[in-house]
Amino acid sequence: MNEKVLEKLKILAESAKYDVSCASSGTTRKGKDGALGSTSGWGICHSFTEDGRCVSLLKIMLSNYCIYDCAYCVNRRSNDIRRATLSVAELVNLTIEFYRRNYIEGLFLSSGVLNNPDYTMERMMQVVKDLREVHRYNGYIHLKVIPGASQHLIDEAGLYADRMSVNIEIPTETNLKFLAPEKDHTSIFNPMKAIGQGIVRYREEKHKYRYVPRFVPAGQSTQMIVGATPESDRQILNLSSDLYNKSAMRRVYYSGYIPVNEYDKRLPALKQAPLVRENRLYQADWLMRFYQFNVNEIVDEKYPDLDLTIDPKLSWALRHPECFPVDINTADYAMLLRVPGIGVRSAKLIVMARRHGSLTAAAIKKIGVVMKKAQYFITCRELPVFTVHEVSPDYIRTVLTVYPVKQKVPDGQLSLPFVDDSVL
């Protein structure tokens, strides 16, 4: 361990940073006596970088050499960047030492494609195997699957990893072919299917036998790049919805496209990553996973894109004023969830609290309901004042739209035009 490893660590972290997934959640495994590591259900974030993203896992690439030339990727073979490959022993040692100091919750291993997918996958497996078998490491492992990897490798890897993921990157195949000619959807969806089947198989066998080795206990996830290609939010969310329903998918991540290869004319020229759109997509995703929304309720032919100025739940409520106002004291849980300003936690608390007596506006405020939004959509013991029917949906939209705060420049103050650093 020396300068060389430090150099490699820097290069490979740099290459891995655009992968957004960093969750260490989804599985609970108690520590074993005399062994290192445990996982906790919700996952733990151990640090936060200056961009405010959580660092839970040691997110790193085994190698950033790659035989592919995908337009959206920093590590494409035509890019002139520093390249490095960590040896299995170096990476295992780094993981263990970081883990012992409580820096990380586990390992997130990804890699560029060396020689061919199976060759790369085998090397990644070696790291995971060494951790589990030689070092008796019991912490979290997220293993990225290289598109095109063989079924038998995935079946084996699933026994060691907690979570596995194959990135879709571009939601439609034509656009994927356009930006990444060497990739296609078969090479992505086949491994994904293999993982999904493995999970289903495990669930079935668990009922039959006393001991079945766990297979990817934290499920699988995937990632899509948003804004690099012209797909609508409807296409993206429909794909996510299919994945959640069909492939035993736990999480879909959306990554606002950051222009990393500006010279490539196939990509749009953006001044900034589409952060607001990314945020709205996550909100829509949450609606599907926790709020019992169907994807067609969030986006449809008439509204193929999400409203950037208000959140998707409020947007749904304004399109459906006939569902409101909702009586807090009688509405069922599913309907409470649909009220803007009431989250999963608040809805659960309301359902429990109203068994003790009817709730007033002050009480639900104390429970944690955001009254600024909810007031237009609910009634409780008090009479409704301004529900969505008294004031129009348009009025509510204007009141609840958040505009970015502009700094006011006092009159008569001289302003010096500084050149923007990013232009230089």
Partner 1 sequence: MNVSLYDKTFDGLLTAIFDAYSLKCFPDVLLGEGEPLPLFTQHSFTVVTSSKKADRVWKALEKKWSDPGCRMVRAVWLSGIENADMLLFRYMCKTLDRQESIETDFADPLVTDLIKLAGSVSREAEYVRQFVRFRKTRDGYYYAPVAPKYNVLPLTVAYFRSRFGDQLWVVFDTLRRYGYHYDLKEVAMFTFEEEIPGVFSGILQPEQMDNEEEMYQDFWRSYLKSLTIKARLNPKLQRQHMPVRFWKHLTEKQG
* Residue 31 touches partner 1, criterion: CB under 8 A: yes
Q: Residue 193, by phi and psi: left (phi above 0), alpha (psi -120 to 50) or beta?
A: alpha
Distance CA 165, CA 221 (A): 5
* Residue 267 touches partner 1, criterion: CB under 8 A: no
Q: Which of 88, 323, 363, 370 binds partner 1 (CB under 8 A)?
A: 363
* Residue 330 touches partner 1, criterion: CB under 8 A: no
* Residue 5 touches partner 1, criterion: CB under 8 A: yes
Distance CA 121, CA 114 (A): 9
- Minimal distance in Å, beta carbon 168 to partner 1? 21
Q: Which of 41, 82, 89, 103 binds partner 1 (CB under 8 A)?
A: 103
Q: Are 298 and 287 in contact (CB under 8 A)?
A: yes
Amino acid at residue number 227: G
Quick one: tokens of 392? 């129009």
Amino acid at residue number 304: P
Q: Which of 45, 67, 88, 323 binds partner 1 (CB under 8 A)?
A: 45
Contact track, partner 1, 281-320, x by CB under 8 A: ----------------------------------------
Interactions with partner 1, residue window 134-163 (CB under 8 A)? 136, 139
Q: What is the DSSP string of 298-315?
A: HS-SS--S--SSS-HHHH
Q: What is the DSSP string of 166-178?
A: ---BSSSHHHHHH
* Residue 38 touches partner 1, criterion: CB under 8 A: yes
Nearer to partner 1 by Cβ, of 37 and 148: the residue is: 37
Q: Which of 355, 403, 405, 410 binds partner 1 (CB under 8 A)?
A: 355
Contact track, partner 1, 75-94, x by CB under 8 A: -------------------x
Distance CA 319, CA 296 (A): 13
- Give rounded-to-5 percent helix, strand, coil for the chain: 40, 10, 50
Which one of 145-153, 170-178, 308-316, 349-357 is the stretch in contact with partner 1 (CB under 8 A)? 349-357
Residue whose C-alpha is closest to residue 187's, from 148, 150, 220, 213: 148
- Minimal distance in Å, beta carbon 87 to partner 1? 16
Determine the size of the site formed for partner 1 (CB under 8 A).
60
First to last CA, the chain: 38
| Chain positions contacting partner 1, by CB under 8 A | 1, 5-6, 9-11, 13-14, 16-18, 30-38, 40, 44-55, 58-59, 94, 97-98, 100-103, 136, 139, 258, 272-273, 275, 349-350, 352-353, 355-357, 359-360, 363, 366-367
